[in-house]
Chains A and B, each alone.
Chain A
Amino acid sequence: MAAVGTELQPSRRQLASRRRLPLRQRAAKVGGPYLLILPSIVIILAVLAYPIYKLFELSFQTYQLPQLIHESHHKLGKAPVWVGFANFAKVFEDHQFWDVLWRTIMFTVVNVGATMILGTAIGVLLTKMSKPLRVVLSVVLILVWATPQVVGITIWNWLFDQQFGVINYTLTKLHLGHFVGHDWYTSSWQGFLVVTCVVVWGAIPFVAITMQAALTQVPDEILEAAAVDGASGLQAFRRITYPMLRPILVILTSLSVIWDFQVFTQVYILRDNRPEPWYYLMSIFSFIESFKVHNFGLGAALSLITMLIMISVSVFYIRQILRIGDAK
């Protein structure tokens, strides 16, 4: 393919200089990109524009059960009232909000850290280990990746089961403590340990397989040249491998932050759809305020705050994306 390209290049240049685009083609060239992005924009906006608008609107309204009834059966209930930033003010005055925010940040840091460290380690190991083992490990990673989230959560719940869980049995047998009949959810520290197991276990394959692919794209010749020039392994890593991997590390870390900051299903299902207040993360807090307390305005405000925090944290990510995304 490359050979064909180089062979043809001179004749292309000669011709291109002679050719001028007719007006119609030039118009198509300007309008073209917009036609190309149109289908994706239409789908995204058709599905999400109104929900996003509604999310903003709700966050500035008093919107509870009477208002919900008013919208579905006209004249009954009460109309939503515009209250400005009252919902946001209420959120910021609430002690629980700061507790939940702090918990969510800690949870995200621990989970993203564990995911990135273990995922990268497995990615590196995959490039270094012997072939049969690599194939087996790859298959296992794919199996984990392909496991539906609901199933993954249920499997871990079964592993940590109070009565018949393998983990309680094994820990007791290894003399690491008395775990017979141990309930992992009475302490929120231990409960979040279970959640972290589920989240990190499910997230590792994506990071590991991507890192492996990224590592194989670092050309061997450069590393060999560095070795010949007397660079130590550490130096080669710092000066060559790391700079080349940096963009992909930024992207993976940012995506992990986005996903882990929004963790919902894992906690919700592990706690039998009734999470106690000390298991609230931002997404759960917002969900409970909306659907259990029926204070939809406050729930929407919480969601928007979550989103703004994520956007401000991902400024680096967005910049990286815009940098590598320049058209060629």
Chain B
Amino acid sequence: MTTSSVRATQPLRRAPRKSGAVAGRHTKSTANAIGVVLLVVMAFPIYWAIATSFKRGVDMTKVTPKWFPFPGTLLHYRDAWHKAFFLSSLRNSAIIVGLTVVIAIAAAFLAAVAVARTNFRGRKAYIVLIIVIQMIPQTALIVPLFVVLSNFHEQNQLIGVTFTYLAFILPFAVWTLRGFVANIPKDLEDAAMIDGCSRFSAFMRVTFPLIAPGLVATAIFAFIQAWNEFTFAYVIIQDNSKETATVWLASFITQEQVDWGGLMAGATMLSIPIVILFLLVQRHFATGLTAGAVKG
């Protein structure tokens, strides 16, 4: 009884400033401790993949795991690099990803301006459409989608894969960009126009720089989705020379066996461009997702 009443009144008796400072230091060390544990759990699979990619064959299949890849080998990287269709699959992925990102950004930006700035008739229907699109089980669409692409003669074509990706990426892209556009006061652009700018130059000089982080964030999202997608690329493309990087990667896994070393080496190589891009623009990306949701 006594202890509970003491505990209950304690926060009131403490001076706010002092308690904040003490609690701050205490919270920080607790946060650091828990953070380290979670860090290890999250990082271990990645570490293990990279370590495996440097391990010699004999070290990979040991009952007592070898925790560190020493002595290591670059053999898996050489194998992966020289494996058939590595460079062509990279080129195909680059083409698909490049087109997807550019078209997605352009189309999503236009739609985002409309949704954020105007109250046109059918606006709610449009928003509901882009949300519901994301709820359709994608596996159910594989066969009819293939039929559509055949009708357009786009099966087994990179452009067919590109448009498929666009249809699934656009809804999320429109929504992310909407948040950015909505956060920019319209008055700013009007003011520049009064000052003698044309609508276009007002847009380019005032609005565009403010939306740029949002465009970058959306571009990264589209990039990741398109770069990592597997199922549709696997179904739509039949020629090995047209396969994408993830489909190429899956060729390390066959019915008989999995080439762990080669797979991990290939995966590590394919992750490098994304990680570099991500590190460059990570902050914008995170803000982009929440823009409008918290503030608006």
Q: Kindly name the residue among A233, A300, A310, A324 whose own CB sees the greatest number of chain B CB atoms within 10 A.
A: A324
Q: Which of A280-315 contact B (CB under 8 A)?
A: 282-283, 286-287, 290, 296, 299-300, 303, 306-307, 310-311, 314
- Decide if B290 touches A217 in the complex (CB within 8 Å): yes
Q: B123 at interface (Cβ–Cβ under 8 A)?
A: yes
Nearest neighbor of B284 in chain A, beta-carbon distance: A213
Tell me the count of chain A residues lying within 8 A, CB to CB, of chain B.
111
A194 at the interface (CB under 8 A from B): no
By the criterion CB–CB under 8 Å, are A201 and B114 in contact?
Answer: no
Q: A143 vs B63: C-alpha distance in the bound complex, in angstroms?
A: 28
List the B residue with the shortest CB-CB distance to A305. B137
| A140 neighbours in B (Cβ, 8 Å) | 39, 42-43, 46
Contact-residue size bin, chain B (C-beta under 8 Å from the other chain): 35 or more
- Among A40, A154, A201, A327, contact of B116 (Cβ-Cβ < 8 Å): A327
Task: Check B274 against A54 for contact (C-beta < 8 Å).
Answer: no
Cross-chain contact of A36 among B27, B113, B186 (Cβ < 8 A): B113
Q: How far is the CA of A130 from the CA of B33 in the complex (A)?
A: 11
Q: Which of B60, B167, B275 contacts A143 (CB 8 A)?
A: B275
Contacts of B32 in A (CB 8 A): 129-130, 133
Residues of B within 8 A of A201 (CB): 42, 45
Q: Contact at B12–A230, with CB atoms within 8 Å?
A: yes
Stretch of A42-50, A77-85, A108-116, A185-193 contacting B (4+ beta carbons < 8 Å): A42-50
Given contacts A146-B275, A150-B246, contact A50 B144 (CB under 8 A): yes
Q: Which residues of A contact B282 (CB under 8 A)?
A: 138, 142, 209
**Shortest distance from the beta carbon of A3 to any chain B beta carbon, whole Å:** 11
Contact A37 B110 (CB under 8 A): yes
Bound-state CA distance A150–B234 (Å) is: 12
Q: Which residues from B are CB-within-8-Å of A314?
A: 131, 135
- B187 A9 Cβ-Cβ under 8 A: yes
When the two chains form their complex, are residues B182 and A328 in contact, meaning their CB atoms are under 8 A apart?
yes
Q: Measured between alpha carbons, how far is A32 from B43 in the docked complex, in Å?
A: 48
Chain A residues whose CB sits within 8 angstroms of the CB of B6 once the complex forms:
none
Q: Is A322 an interface residue (CB 8 A)?
A: yes
* Residue of A121, A218, A262 with most chain B CB atoms under a 10 A cut-off: A262
Q: Does B267 sit within 8 A of A, measured CB to CB? A: yes
- Do A307 and B135 form a contact, CB below 8 Å, given A37-B115, A213-B290, A325-B178? yes
Contacts A12-B187, A244-B294; is A328 near B286 (CB within 8 Å)?
no
* A1-59 at interface with B (beta carbon < 8 Å): 1, 4-5, 8-9, 11-12, 15-16, 30, 32-41, 43-44, 46-48, 50-52, 54-55
A-B contacts, 12 listed (Cβ < 8 Å): A8-B194, A39-B107, A40-B130, A40-B174, A52-B136, A148-B230, A150-B249, A159-B45, A201-B45, A217-B290, A230-B12, A307-B136
Q: Give the A-binding residues of B (Cβ under 8 A).
A: 11-12, 16, 20, 23, 27-28, 31-32, 34-36, 38-39, 42-43, 45-46, 48-49, 52, 60-65, 103, 106-108, 110-111, 113-120, 123-124, 126-141, 143-145, 147-148, 163-164, 166-167, 170-171, 174-175, 178, 182, 185-188, 190-192, 194-195, 206, 210, 224, 227-228, 230-231, 246, 249-250, 253, 258, 260, 263-264, 267, 270-271, 274-275, 278-279, 282, 285-287, 289-290, 292-296
Nearest 10 interchain pairs by C-beta: A303-B140, A213-B286, A36-B114, A51-B144, A8-B191, A47-B167, A54-B144, A33-B120, A128-B31, A146-B274
Beyond the given pairs A44-B133, A126-B35, A130-B28, 10 more chain A to chain B contacts, judged by CB atoms under 8 angstroms and listed by A's residue number, are A15-B194, A43-B163, A48-B136, A55-B141, A148-B230, A169-B64, A210-B290, A282-B137, A296-B143, A300-B140
